[in-house]
C-alpha cells in the first residue's frame, strides 16, 4: 500500500487538507497526517480540527511515496521547521511526488526544489516562487515531473487527479 504524508500546522486551509485526505483514502492509499510537534491537534482557518499521526522529526522519507502540502497560513509555520523542509527536499531528491497547493508553495520554495521548474500557487506568493527560481504559470494545476502545484481550493479536483496520476 502506498503511503502519502499530508503536512499540517495551525490555520491550514480546511478543504486543501480534507479533500485530498479523503480522496486518497478512497483510492486505497495510506494517508498520514504530519505535524511539526507543536500540537497533537491543529485547527484549520474555518475551525475544523485534525489530529496528527506523527511529527515531522520522526519521518523517514524512504517510507513515503509522496507528500501533500496544503495552504492557508500553515505553510508559513511549517517552513520554519527544519524537519519539514528536509523531509520535502529528500522526497524530491528521491524523485517522489511533492504536491503543494495555494500557500503550500512557500514550503517547496524553502526546500529549494523549484529552481528551473514549472510551478503555480496562490497569486500572493507568485513573487516568492519566482524568486526561488520557479517558472510561474497561472494554471489550475502545473505538473513538472513529480512536482505538482495548484493555486486555490477551486483547483482541488485537478490537483487530486494529478496526484493520483503521479502515484499510480
Say how far apart CA 153 and CA 70 lie, in whole Å: 10
Question: Rounded to the nearest 10 degrees, what angle do helices 14-26 and 156-167 cross at?
Answer: 40
Q: How far is CA 52 from CA 98, 120, 152, in A?
A: 19, 27, 23
The residues pairing with 12 across neighbouring beta strands, listed in sequence order, are 44, 72
Q: Catalytic: 81?
A: no
Q: Catalytic: 103?
A: yes
Where in the sequence numbering do the catalytic residues fall? 102-103
Amino acid at each position: 500500500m502506498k503511503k502519502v504524508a499530508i503536512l499540517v500546522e495551525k490555520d491550514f486551509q480546511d478543504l486543501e487538507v480534507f479533500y485530498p485526505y479523503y480522496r486518497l483514502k478512497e483510492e486505497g492509499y495510506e494517508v498520514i497526517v504530519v505535524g511539526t510537534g507543536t500540537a497533537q491537534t491543529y485547527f484549520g482557518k474555518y475551525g475544523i480540527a485534525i489530529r496528527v499521526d506523527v511529527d515531522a522529526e520522526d519521518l523517514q522519507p524512504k517510507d513515503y511515496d509522496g507528500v501533500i502540502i496544503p495552504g492557508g497560513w500553515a505553510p508559513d509555520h511549517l517552513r520554519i521547521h527544519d524537519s519539514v523542509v528536509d523531509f520535502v527536499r529528500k522526497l524530491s531528491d528521491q524523485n517522489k511526488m511533492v504536491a503543494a497547493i495555494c500557500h503550500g508553495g512557500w514550503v517547496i520554495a524553502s526546500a529549494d526544489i523549484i529552481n528551473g521548474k514549472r510551478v503555480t500557487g496562490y497569486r500572493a506568493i507568485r513573487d516568492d516562487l519566482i524568486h526561488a527560481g520557479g517558472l510561474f504559470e497561472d494554471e489550475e494545476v502545473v505538473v513538472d515531473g513529480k512536482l505538482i502545484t495548484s493555486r486555490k481550493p477551486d483547483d482541488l479536483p485537478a490537483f487530486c487527479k494529478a496526484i493520483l496520476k503521479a502515484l499510480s
